[in-house]
Protein backbone atom coordinates (compact mmCIF):
# COMPACT_ATOMS: atom_id res chain seq x y z
CA UNK A 1 0.00 0.00 0.00
CA UNK A 2 1.07 3.52 -0.79
CA UNK A 3 -0.97 5.75 1.47
CA UNK A 4 -1.00 9.48 2.12
CA UNK A 5 -1.62 11.34 5.34
CA UNK A 6 -2.64 14.98 5.45
CA UNK A 7 -3.12 17.25 8.48
CA UNK A 8 -3.62 20.92 9.31
CA UNK A 9 -1.96 22.98 12.01
CA UNK A 10 -1.79 26.51 13.42
CA UNK A 11 -4.32 29.33 13.24
CA UNK A 12 -7.28 28.89 10.90
CA UNK A 13 -7.64 30.74 7.61
CA UNK A 14 -10.46 31.06 5.08
CA UNK A 15 -8.69 28.81 2.57
CA UNK A 16 -6.75 26.13 4.50
CA UNK A 17 -9.42 23.65 3.43
CA UNK A 18 -8.90 24.62 -0.21
CA UNK A 19 -5.34 23.32 0.16
CA UNK A 20 -6.72 20.11 1.67
CA UNK A 21 -9.15 19.87 -1.26
CA UNK A 22 -6.19 20.38 -3.62
CA UNK A 23 -4.36 17.43 -2.07
CA UNK A 24 -7.44 15.20 -2.39
CA UNK A 25 -8.07 16.35 -5.97
CA UNK A 26 -4.41 15.74 -6.86
CA UNK A 27 -4.49 12.25 -5.38
CA UNK A 28 -7.55 11.36 -7.46
CA UNK A 29 -5.87 12.57 -10.63
CA UNK A 30 -2.54 10.84 -9.90
CA UNK A 31 -3.59 7.21 -9.36
CA UNK A 32 -0.45 6.78 -7.26
CA UNK A 33 -2.01 6.75 -3.80
CA UNK A 34 -4.20 4.04 -2.32
CA UNK A 35 -5.79 5.63 0.74
CA UNK A 36 -5.86 9.28 1.85
CA UNK A 37 -5.94 9.62 5.63
CA UNK A 38 -6.60 12.80 7.57
CA UNK A 39 -5.27 13.28 11.10
CA UNK A 40 -7.44 15.09 13.62
CA UNK A 41 -5.89 18.22 15.17
CA UNK A 42 -2.63 18.07 13.27
CA UNK A 43 0.30 16.04 14.49
CA UNK A 44 -1.58 15.41 17.76
CA UNK A 45 -3.98 13.21 15.81
CA UNK A 46 -1.02 11.11 14.63
CA UNK A 47 0.26 10.77 18.19
CA UNK A 48 -3.21 9.88 19.45
CA UNK A 49 -3.97 7.50 16.56
CA UNK A 50 -6.93 9.66 15.53
CA UNK A 51 -7.10 9.24 11.76
CA UNK A 52 -9.99 9.10 9.29
CA UNK A 53 -10.20 7.94 5.70
CA UNK A 54 -10.97 11.13 3.80
CA UNK A 55 -12.57 9.34 0.87
CA UNK A 56 -15.44 8.38 3.16
CA UNK A 57 -16.24 12.04 3.77
CA UNK A 58 -15.28 13.77 0.53
CA UNK A 59 -17.01 11.47 -1.90
CA UNK A 60 -17.90 13.60 -4.90
CA UNK A 61 -17.14 16.89 -6.59
CA UNK A 62 -19.93 18.69 -4.68
CA UNK A 63 -18.43 17.65 -1.33
CA UNK A 64 -14.97 18.70 -2.54
CA UNK A 65 -16.40 22.07 -3.54
CA UNK A 66 -18.09 22.55 -0.16
CA UNK A 67 -14.83 21.63 1.58
CA UNK A 68 -12.93 24.14 -0.58
CA UNK A 69 -15.09 27.02 0.63
CA UNK A 70 -15.42 25.98 4.30
CA UNK A 71 -13.33 28.24 6.53
CA UNK A 72 -10.98 27.12 9.31
CA UNK A 73 -9.42 23.65 9.56
CA UNK A 74 -11.96 20.96 8.71
CA UNK A 75 -9.54 18.39 10.16
CA UNK A 76 -9.03 20.42 13.33
CA UNK A 77 -5.82 22.12 14.30
CA UNK A 78 -3.19 22.20 17.06
CA UNK A 79 -0.29 24.25 18.35
CA UNK A 80 1.91 21.27 19.19
CA UNK A 81 5.65 21.91 18.94
CA UNK A 82 8.10 19.01 18.68
CA UNK A 83 11.37 19.16 20.60
CA UNK A 84 14.50 18.26 18.67
CA UNK A 85 14.56 14.47 18.27
CA UNK A 86 18.02 14.33 19.82
CA UNK A 87 16.47 15.67 23.04
CA UNK A 88 13.24 13.71 23.03
CA UNK A 89 12.91 10.89 20.51
CA UNK A 90 9.68 9.42 21.91
CA UNK A 91 7.11 11.39 19.85
CA UNK A 92 9.19 10.82 16.69
CA UNK A 93 9.16 7.09 17.33
CA UNK A 94 5.40 7.10 17.80
CA UNK A 95 4.84 9.12 14.64
CA UNK A 96 6.98 6.81 12.51
CA UNK A 97 5.26 3.77 14.05
CA UNK A 98 1.90 5.26 13.06
CA UNK A 99 3.25 5.84 9.54
CA UNK A 100 4.27 2.18 9.28
CA UNK A 101 1.00 1.00 10.77
CA UNK A 102 -1.09 2.94 8.23
CA UNK A 103 1.43 2.33 5.42
CA UNK A 104 1.93 6.06 4.93
CA UNK A 105 4.44 6.93 2.20
CA UNK A 106 3.55 10.60 1.97
CA UNK A 107 2.78 13.12 4.70
CA UNK A 108 1.56 16.61 3.85
CA UNK A 109 1.35 19.15 6.65
CA UNK A 110 -0.58 22.34 5.92
CA UNK A 111 0.46 25.16 8.22
CA UNK A 112 2.56 28.20 9.06
CA UNK A 113 5.94 28.82 10.70
CA UNK A 114 5.52 26.38 13.58
CA UNK A 115 4.09 23.68 11.35
CA UNK A 116 7.07 24.01 9.01
CA UNK A 117 9.26 23.50 12.06
CA UNK A 118 7.47 20.17 12.56
CA UNK A 119 7.99 19.24 8.89
CA UNK A 120 11.66 20.19 9.19
CA UNK A 121 12.33 18.24 12.38
CA UNK A 122 10.34 15.21 11.32
CA UNK A 123 11.97 14.94 7.90
CA UNK A 124 15.39 15.43 9.50
CA UNK A 125 14.64 12.60 11.94
CA UNK A 126 13.42 10.29 9.19
CA UNK A 127 16.49 10.95 7.04
CA UNK A 128 18.76 10.17 9.99
CA UNK A 129 16.86 7.01 10.85
CA UNK A 130 16.52 5.95 7.19
CA UNK A 131 12.72 5.99 7.23
CA UNK A 132 11.73 6.67 3.64
CA UNK A 133 8.70 8.88 4.15
CA UNK A 134 8.16 11.90 1.93
CA UNK A 135 7.29 14.76 4.24
CA UNK A 136 6.17 17.99 2.61
CA UNK A 137 4.72 21.25 3.93
CA UNK A 138 2.00 23.33 2.29
CA UNK A 139 1.95 26.97 3.39
CA UNK A 140 -0.91 28.80 5.08
CA UNK A 141 -1.08 31.90 7.22
CA UNK A 142 -3.17 35.04 7.13
CA UNK A 143 -0.13 36.91 8.47
CA UNK A 144 1.80 36.49 5.20
CA UNK A 145 5.02 36.19 7.20
CA UNK A 146 6.32 32.93 5.67
CA UNK A 147 9.79 33.06 4.20
CA UNK A 148 10.68 32.00 0.61
CA UNK A 149 7.15 32.26 -0.74
CA UNK A 150 5.97 35.45 -2.43
CA UNK A 151 2.84 35.29 -0.31
CA UNK A 152 0.91 32.73 1.72
CA UNK A 153 -2.56 31.29 1.14
CA UNK A 154 -5.08 32.76 3.57
CA UNK A 155 -3.49 36.18 3.35
CA UNK A 156 -5.27 37.26 0.14
CA UNK A 157 -8.70 36.41 1.57
CA UNK A 158 -7.99 38.16 4.86
CA UNK A 159 -6.70 41.16 2.86
CA UNK A 160 -9.89 41.19 0.77
CA UNK A 161 -11.99 41.05 3.95
CA UNK A 162 -9.98 43.89 5.47
CA UNK A 163 -10.07 46.07 2.32
CA UNK A 164 -13.83 45.53 1.91
CA UNK A 165 -14.54 46.10 5.59
CA UNK A 166 -12.42 49.24 5.76
CA UNK A 167 -14.30 50.64 2.74
CA UNK A 168 -17.60 49.80 4.45
CA UNK A 169 -16.45 51.32 7.75
CA UNK A 170 -15.37 54.45 5.90
CA UNK A 171 -18.88 54.74 4.42
CA UNK A 172 -20.35 54.23 7.86
CA UNK A 173 -18.20 56.64 9.83
CA UNK A 174 -18.15 59.39 7.17
CA UNK A 175 -21.95 59.60 7.14
CA UNK A 176 -21.90 61.63 10.37
CA UNK A 177 -21.08 65.30 10.39
CA UNK A 178 -19.34 65.55 13.76
CA UNK A 179 -15.72 65.00 14.81
CA UNK A 180 -15.05 61.35 15.49
CA UNK A 181 -12.10 58.99 15.40
CA UNK A 182 -12.42 55.29 14.63
CA UNK A 183 -9.42 53.05 15.31
CA UNK A 184 -9.43 49.62 13.69
CA UNK A 185 -7.12 46.95 15.08
CA UNK A 186 -5.86 44.40 12.57
CA UNK A 187 -4.07 41.11 13.27
CA UNK A 188 -0.29 40.98 13.04
CA UNK A 189 1.92 40.79 16.11
CA UNK A 190 5.22 41.14 14.23
CA UNK A 191 4.32 41.61 10.56
CA UNK A 192 2.14 44.42 9.23
CA UNK A 193 1.02 42.87 5.91
CA UNK A 194 -2.64 42.65 6.93
CA UNK A 195 -2.71 46.20 8.26
CA UNK A 196 -1.11 47.38 5.02
CA UNK A 197 -3.94 45.76 3.05
CA UNK A 198 -6.39 48.23 4.63
CA UNK A 199 -4.99 50.70 2.05
CA UNK A 200 -6.72 48.65 -0.67
CA UNK A 201 -10.01 50.17 0.56
CA UNK A 202 -8.99 53.17 -1.59
CA UNK A 203 -8.48 51.10 -4.73
CA UNK A 204 -11.56 52.51 -6.48
CA UNK A 205 -10.97 56.09 -5.38
CA UNK A 206 -12.69 55.90 -1.98
CA UNK A 207 -11.20 57.68 1.03
CA UNK A 208 -10.24 54.50 2.92
CA UNK A 209 -8.20 54.78 6.11
CA UNK A 210 -6.65 58.18 6.83
CA UNK A 211 -3.76 56.81 8.85
CA UNK A 212 -2.08 53.38 8.78
CA UNK A 213 0.41 52.25 11.43
CA UNK A 214 2.32 49.02 10.86
CA UNK A 215 4.09 47.12 13.63
CA UNK A 216 7.40 47.27 11.72
CA UNK A 217 7.61 50.99 12.45
CA UNK A 218 8.30 52.34 15.95
CA UNK A 219 5.07 53.83 17.29
CA UNK A 220 5.33 57.36 18.61
CA UNK A 221 2.39 58.47 20.81
CA UNK A 222 3.00 62.20 20.38
CA UNK A 223 3.37 61.84 16.63
CA UNK A 224 0.16 59.81 16.50
CA UNK A 225 -1.83 62.48 18.35
CA UNK A 226 -0.35 65.12 16.07
CA UNK A 227 -1.37 63.13 12.95
CA UNK A 228 -4.91 62.65 14.29
CA UNK A 229 -5.33 66.34 15.14
CA UNK A 230 -4.08 67.31 11.68
CA UNK A 231 -6.60 64.99 9.99
CA UNK A 232 -9.44 66.25 12.21
CA UNK A 233 -8.76 69.75 10.91
CA UNK A 234 -9.31 68.50 7.36
CA UNK A 235 -12.40 66.34 7.85
CA UNK A 236 -14.79 65.39 10.66
CA UNK A 237 -14.23 61.64 10.56
CA UNK A 238 -10.83 60.05 10.90
CA UNK A 239 -10.41 56.34 10.21
CA UNK A 240 -7.23 54.67 11.44
CA UNK A 241 -5.76 51.19 10.87
CA UNK A 242 -3.24 49.82 13.40
CA UNK A 243 -1.44 46.50 13.71
CA UNK A 244 -2.17 44.71 16.98
CA UNK A 245 1.60 44.48 17.49
CA UNK A 246 2.61 48.17 17.32
CA UNK A 247 5.41 48.94 19.79
CA UNK A 248 6.87 52.13 21.19
CA UNK A 249 10.51 53.25 20.99
CA UNK A 250 11.48 51.03 23.92
CA UNK A 251 9.99 47.98 22.25
CA UNK A 252 6.94 47.82 24.56
CA UNK A 253 3.68 46.77 22.98
CA UNK A 254 1.14 49.64 22.87
CA UNK A 255 -1.46 47.09 23.94
CA UNK A 256 0.42 46.56 27.21
CA UNK A 257 0.19 50.25 28.14
CA UNK A 258 -3.45 50.02 29.06
CA UNK A 259 -3.39 46.42 30.24
CA UNK A 260 -0.64 47.07 32.74
CA UNK A 261 -2.56 49.86 34.39
CA UNK A 262 -6.14 48.75 34.07
CA UNK A 263 -7.63 46.79 36.90
CA UNK A 264 -11.26 45.76 36.85
CA UNK A 265 -13.54 45.77 39.85
CA UNK A 266 -12.75 42.13 40.47
CA UNK A 267 -9.19 43.35 41.10
CA UNK A 268 -7.89 41.66 37.98
CA UNK A 269 -5.63 42.96 35.28
CA UNK A 270 -7.56 44.08 32.26
CA UNK A 271 -6.39 42.72 28.92
CA UNK A 272 -6.83 45.23 26.14
CA UNK A 273 -5.63 45.60 22.60
CA UNK A 274 -3.64 48.34 20.86
CA UNK A 275 -6.78 50.03 19.50
CA UNK A 276 -8.39 50.18 22.96
CA UNK A 277 -5.28 51.80 24.37
CA UNK A 278 -5.26 54.40 21.60
CA UNK A 279 -9.01 54.93 22.00
CA UNK A 280 -8.44 55.89 25.65
CA UNK A 281 -5.53 58.12 24.65
CA UNK A 282 -7.59 60.01 22.04
CA UNK A 283 -10.49 60.38 24.50
CA UNK A 284 -8.18 61.87 27.11
CA UNK A 285 -5.94 64.03 24.91
CA UNK A 286 -8.26 65.10 22.09
CA UNK A 287 -11.65 64.60 23.70
CA UNK A 288 -13.74 63.94 20.60
CA UNK A 289 -15.98 60.93 20.01
CA UNK A 290 -13.76 57.87 19.58
CA UNK A 291 -14.39 54.21 18.98
CA UNK A 292 -12.16 51.16 18.59
CA UNK A 293 -13.01 48.22 16.38
CA UNK A 294 -11.22 44.86 16.40
CA UNK A 295 -11.53 42.78 13.24
CA UNK A 296 -10.70 39.87 15.51
CA UNK A 297 -11.39 36.29 14.33
CA UNK A 298 -13.56 37.54 11.46
CA UNK A 299 -10.49 38.52 9.42
CA UNK A 300 -9.26 34.93 9.30
CA UNK A 301 -12.65 33.15 9.22
CA UNK A 302 -14.63 35.15 6.65
CA UNK A 303 -14.73 32.61 3.83
CA UNK A 304 -17.86 34.33 2.48
CA UNK A 305 -15.62 37.14 1.18
CA UNK A 306 -12.61 34.98 0.25
CA UNK A 307 -10.45 36.00 -2.71
CA UNK A 308 -10.87 33.65 -5.68
CA UNK A 309 -7.19 34.18 -6.50
CA UNK A 310 -6.33 33.05 -2.98
CA UNK A 311 -8.65 30.03 -3.07
CA UNK A 312 -7.25 28.90 -6.42
CA UNK A 313 -3.64 29.33 -5.30
CA UNK A 314 -4.35 27.53 -2.00
CA UNK A 315 -5.78 24.61 -3.95
CA UNK A 316 -2.85 24.50 -6.38
CA UNK A 317 -0.32 24.68 -3.52
CA UNK A 318 -1.95 21.53 -2.12
CA UNK A 319 -1.51 19.88 -5.51
CA UNK A 320 2.07 21.12 -5.76
CA UNK A 321 2.88 19.72 -2.29
CA UNK A 322 1.45 16.39 -3.40
CA UNK A 323 3.50 16.32 -6.59
CA UNK A 324 6.65 17.09 -4.58
CA UNK A 325 5.86 14.15 -2.29
CA UNK A 326 5.12 11.85 -5.22
CA UNK A 327 8.40 12.93 -6.83
CA UNK A 328 10.30 11.73 -3.78
CA UNK A 329 11.05 15.11 -2.23
CA UNK A 330 11.09 15.49 1.55
CA UNK A 331 11.66 18.39 3.95
CA UNK A 332 10.35 20.90 1.45
CA UNK A 333 7.38 23.27 1.20
CA UNK A 334 5.32 24.20 -1.84
CA UNK A 335 5.59 27.93 -2.49
CA UNK A 336 4.78 30.78 -4.86
CA UNK A 337 7.27 32.73 -6.94
CA UNK A 338 5.95 35.92 -8.50
CA UNK A 339 7.03 36.56 -12.08
CA UNK A 340 5.26 39.89 -12.65
CA UNK A 341 2.67 42.30 -11.23
CA UNK A 342 1.17 43.54 -14.51
CA UNK A 343 -0.04 41.12 -15.67
CA UNK A 344 -0.04 39.10 -12.46
CA UNK A 345 1.95 35.93 -13.16
CA UNK A 346 3.28 33.37 -10.70
CA UNK A 347 4.78 29.90 -10.70
CA UNK A 348 4.63 27.16 -8.10
CA UNK A 349 7.96 26.03 -6.71
CA UNK A 350 9.24 24.05 -3.75
CA UNK A 351 11.63 25.45 -1.15
CA UNK A 352 13.72 23.90 1.66
CA UNK A 353 11.58 23.92 4.77
CA UNK A 354 14.53 24.53 7.11
CA UNK A 355 14.78 28.03 5.65
CA UNK A 356 11.09 28.65 6.30
CA UNK A 357 10.72 27.24 9.81
CA UNK A 358 10.78 29.76 12.66
CA UNK A 359 11.57 32.68 10.39
CA UNK A 360 9.40 35.71 9.71
CA UNK A 361 9.04 37.80 6.59
CA UNK A 362 8.32 41.38 7.57
CA UNK A 363 7.19 44.37 5.53
CA UNK A 364 10.27 45.97 3.93
CA UNK A 365 10.91 49.46 5.38
CA UNK A 366 10.88 50.92 1.86
CA UNK A 367 7.21 49.92 1.48
CA UNK A 368 6.18 52.12 4.41
CA UNK A 369 5.66 55.75 3.40
CA UNK A 370 8.22 58.32 4.50
CA UNK A 371 5.80 59.95 6.96
CA UNK A 372 5.45 56.57 8.69
CA UNK A 373 1.66 56.36 8.59
CA UNK A 374 0.85 54.92 5.19
CA UNK A 375 2.17 52.47 2.59
CA UNK A 376 3.83 53.05 -0.78
CA UNK A 377 2.78 52.29 -4.35
CA UNK A 378 5.11 49.25 -4.37
CA UNK A 379 3.07 47.79 -1.53
CA UNK A 380 -0.22 48.41 -3.37
CA UNK A 381 1.20 46.83 -6.55
CA UNK A 382 2.19 43.79 -4.50
CA UNK A 383 -1.16 43.51 -2.71
CA UNK A 384 -3.63 44.31 -5.48
CA UNK A 385 -3.57 40.99 -7.41
CA UNK A 386 -4.07 38.94 -4.24
CA UNK A 387 -7.63 40.14 -3.52
CA UNK A 388 -8.95 39.76 -7.07
CA UNK A 389 -11.97 37.63 -7.87
CA UNK A 390 -15.04 36.51 -5.95
CA UNK A 391 -15.66 32.87 -5.13
CA UNK A 392 -18.60 30.76 -6.22
CA UNK A 393 -19.39 29.88 -2.62
CA UNK A 394 -22.62 27.88 -2.27
CA UNK A 395 -25.37 29.33 -0.08
CA UNK A 396 -28.06 27.22 1.55
CA UNK A 397 -30.95 28.80 3.45
CA UNK A 398 -29.24 32.18 3.35
CA UNK A 399 -25.81 31.25 4.76
CA UNK A 400 -22.75 29.61 3.15
CA UNK A 401 -22.66 25.81 3.14
CA UNK A 402 -19.95 24.27 5.28
CA UNK A 403 -18.46 20.84 5.84
CA UNK A 404 -17.26 19.16 9.02
CA UNK A 405 -14.89 16.17 8.83
CA UNK A 406 -14.83 15.24 12.54
Interacting span for a copy of itself (CB under 8 A) from 247-255, 334-342, 362-370, 385-393: 385-393
CA distance 233 to 245: 28
307 scored as a contact of a copy of itself (CB under 8 A): yes
**Pick 35 or 203: Cβ nearer a copy of itself:** 203
60 is catalytic: no
**Pick 295 or 368: Cβ nearer a copy of itself:** 295
Interacting span for a copy of itself (CB under 8 A) from 98-106, 199-207, 329-337, 355-363: 199-207
**Sole binder of a copy of itself in the list 88, 230, 390, 392 (CB under 8 A):** 390
Min separation Cβ 161 and a copy of itself, Å: 9
30 scored as a contact of a copy of itself (CB under 8 A): no
**Sole binder of a copy of itself in the list 30, 176, 327, 355 (CB under 8 A):** 176
**Sole binder of a copy of itself in the list 29, 62, 226, 298 (CB under 8 A):** 298
164 scored as a contact of a copy of itself (CB under 8 A): yes
**Half-sphere CA count of 135, side-chain side, radius 13 A:** 23
**Pick 2 or 171: Cβ nearer a copy of itself:** 171
| Number of residues forming the site for a copy of itself (CB under 8 A) | 76
What residues between 238 and 297 interact with a copy of itself by CB under 8 A? Answer: 257-258, 260-266, 268, 270, 272, 280-281, 283-284, 291, 293-297
What residues between 120 and 139 interact with a copy of itself by CB under 8 A? Answer: none
**Sole binder of a copy of itself in the list 6, 12, 116, 143 (CB under 8 A):** 12
Min separation Cβ 5 and a copy of itself, Å: 18
115 scored as a contact of a copy of itself (CB under 8 A): no
**Pick 261 or 328: Cβ nearer a copy of itself:** 261
The values of phi and psi at residue 184, to 5°, are -105, 120
**Pick 34 or 168: Cβ nearer a copy of itself:** 168
Q: Which of 95, 114, 87 is nearest to 50 (CA)?
A: 95
CA distance 310 to 291: 32
CA distance 199 to 210: 9
173 scored as a contact of a copy of itself (CB under 8 A): yes
195 scored as a contact of a copy of itself (CB under 8 A): no
Catalytic residue selected from 117, 143, 145, 374: 143
**Sole binder of a copy of itself in the list 76, 192, 245, 318 (CB under 8 A):** 76
Min separation Cβ 167 and a copy of itself, Å: 6
Min separation Cβ 324 and a copy of itself, Å: 25
65 scored as a contact of a copy of itself (CB under 8 A): no
402 scored as a contact of a copy of itself (CB under 8 A): yes
**Pick 126 or 196: Cβ nearer a copy of itself:** 196
**Pick 135 or 295: Cβ nearer a copy of itself:** 295
Rg (CA), the chain: 22
391 scored as a contact of a copy of itself (CB under 8 A): no
Q: What is the 3-state secondary structure (H, E, C) of the chain?
A: CCEEEEEECCCCCCCHHHHHHHHHHHHHHHCCCCCEEEECCCHHHHHCCCEEEHHHCCCCHHHHHHHHCCCCCCCCCCCCCCCCCCCCCHHHHHHHHHHHHCCEEEEEEEECHHHHHHHHHHHHHHHHCCCCCEEEEEECCCCCCCCCCCCCCCHHHHHHHHHHHHHHHHHHHCCCCCCEEEEEEECCCCCCHHHHHHHHHHCCCCCCCCEEECCCCCCCHHHHHHHHHHHHHHCCEEEEEEECCCECCCCCEHHHHHHHHCECCCCCECCCCHHHHHHHHHHHHCCCEEEEEECCCHHHHCHHHCEHHHHHHHHHHHHHHHHHHHCCCCCEEEEEEEEECCCCEEEEEEEEHHHCCCCCCCCCHHHECCCCCCECHHHHHHHHHHHCCECCCCEECCEECCCCCC
Amino acid sequence: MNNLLVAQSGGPTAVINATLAGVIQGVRASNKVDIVYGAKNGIEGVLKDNLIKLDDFVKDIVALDTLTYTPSSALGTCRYKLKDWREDEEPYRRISEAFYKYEISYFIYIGGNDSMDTVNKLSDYCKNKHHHFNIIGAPKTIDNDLNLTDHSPGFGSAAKYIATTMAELESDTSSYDMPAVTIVEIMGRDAGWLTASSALARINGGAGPDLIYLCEKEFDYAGFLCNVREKLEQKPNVLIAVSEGIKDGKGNYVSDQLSSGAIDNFGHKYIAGAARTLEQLVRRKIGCKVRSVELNLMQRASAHIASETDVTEALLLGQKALSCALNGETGRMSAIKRLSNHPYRIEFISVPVEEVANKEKKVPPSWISADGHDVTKDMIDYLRPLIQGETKIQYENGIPRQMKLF
